[in-house]
A = this chain, B = another copy of it.
Amino acid sequence: MSLKFEIVAKSALGGRRARLDLPHQVVETPVFMPVGTAGSVKAVAQDVLENLGTQIILGNTYHLYLRPGHEAIRRMGGLHRFISWPRAMLTDSGGFQVFSLSQLRKVTDEGVQFRSHLDGSSHCFTPEHSVDVQLALGADICMAFDECTEYPADRKRAEESLRLTMAWAKRSLEHFRTHRESVVWRDEFGGCTQSLFGIVQGGMYGDLRRECAGRLTEMKSDEMEFDGFAIGGLSVGEPRELTLEMIAEVLPLLPRDKPRYVMGVGYPDEIEQYAKLGVDMMDCVLPTRAARHGLLFTSEGRVNIKNKQYAEDQNPPDPNCKCMVCRRYTRAYLRHLMQAGEALSGTLNTIHNLAFYLGLMERVRGEIAAGAES
């Protein structure tokens, strides 16, 4: 047993209010997952994340593989223990960072050869290796190794990318099935294992997306299927209408009884929209990265806290927010911290933005449940 997914309520539009039961946490969905790149949701301590109601965070396989190394993390009891995060965790496959951060990539059917962006050292990720790294990290949910098609990509490129992703998905599933018992916390959690999600690619071609979804949902290794499905390769520069179009193409083809995850989105209005259409999980660096650059998301819209107009503004960042930052600090103080280059700036801005994102998803969960009842 690895994952249970129980739908509590459905809305007319397709939104689902569900409970995703993972070894480390029962996650109430739809859920937004803060990104904890290299074993830290940047600038925020774990107890603060807990107080914010964070249910699940993301770890980046590429970063953790390079530093401190997945074998070291396994020896220390897995990523949960290493970073002292008792709740749920998901790791990506490393694919996206290999393509976006590393140098001198060489892609073959076997996998990807690349050089570390840290020290130029040479490495190779195959589907099997990505799964091995993720088994060592021990997140509750692992992702199949895929190739994220860039935007724009012509049809031939998208087809070729899809062919690789399908072959790699199958190999990821095979390798995961035969090695999943190895996760370090298995005994501690009554024999539970991790889960593996497949990733739908296909660029911005609806028919390729549908083909991919169809093949992935039917893919099996022995009796094992994917435990959930992600839609990847979105939010890579395409217009938002196209993002929505691709999601709308794929969602109806995904099994209703398994979680659906759209990777790397998005702005607050986007994640609300997608959740209400039936997306159960989303992640994005936007709230955390924007915070470090002074962009706050509030109930009154975006606030660029660097602006001079806030120099003596004694209102909280968001007058309708009850987070620990809005209860204690003023816009003027947050602006000053940013101007003065104080580390506390990134911390407080990030806490507010995460509170806003998590609060938004809590509201959406309530609305889906309420809409379903009426």
Question: A2 contacts the other chain (Cβ, under 8 Å)?
Answer: no
Question: A356 contacts the other chain (Cβ, under 8 Å)?
Answer: no
Q: Are A336 and B45 in contact (CB under 8 A)?
A: no
Chain B positions within 8 Å of A84 at CB level: 328-330, 333
Q: Are B333 and A83 in contact (CB under 8 A)?
A: yes
Q: Are B68 and A339 in contact (CB under 8 A)?
A: yes
Interchain CA distance A46-B348 in the complex, whole Å: 11
Interchain CA distance A336-B44 in the complex, whole Å: 15
User: Nearest Cβ in chain B — how far from A74, in angstroms?
Assistant: 11
Contact of A46 among B75, B82, B328, B339 (CB under 8 A): B328
Stoichiometry, copies per complex: 2
- Chain A, interface size category, equals 35 or more
Question: A337 contacts the other chain (Cβ, under 8 Å)?
Answer: yes
Q: Are A314 and B39 in contact (CB under 8 A)?
A: no
Question: A72 contacts the other chain (Cβ, under 8 Å)?
Answer: yes
Contact of A311 among B43, B72, B329 (CB under 8 A): B72
Interchain CA distance A340-B65 in the complex, whole Å: 12
Interchain CA distance A344-B347 in the complex, whole Å: 9
In the complex, chain A residues 50-73 whose Cβ is within 8 Å of any chain B Cβ: 63, 67-68, 72
Contact of A44 among B39, B44, B63, B344 (CB under 8 A): B344
Question: A154 contacts the other chain (Cβ, under 8 Å)?
Answer: no
A320-353 interface bits toward B, Cβ cutoff 8 Å, 1 = contact, 0 = none: 0000100011101100110110111011100000
Jot down 6 A-B pairs with beta carbons below 8 A, ordered by A: A40-B342, A43-B342, A43-B344, A72-B332, A84-B329, A347-B347
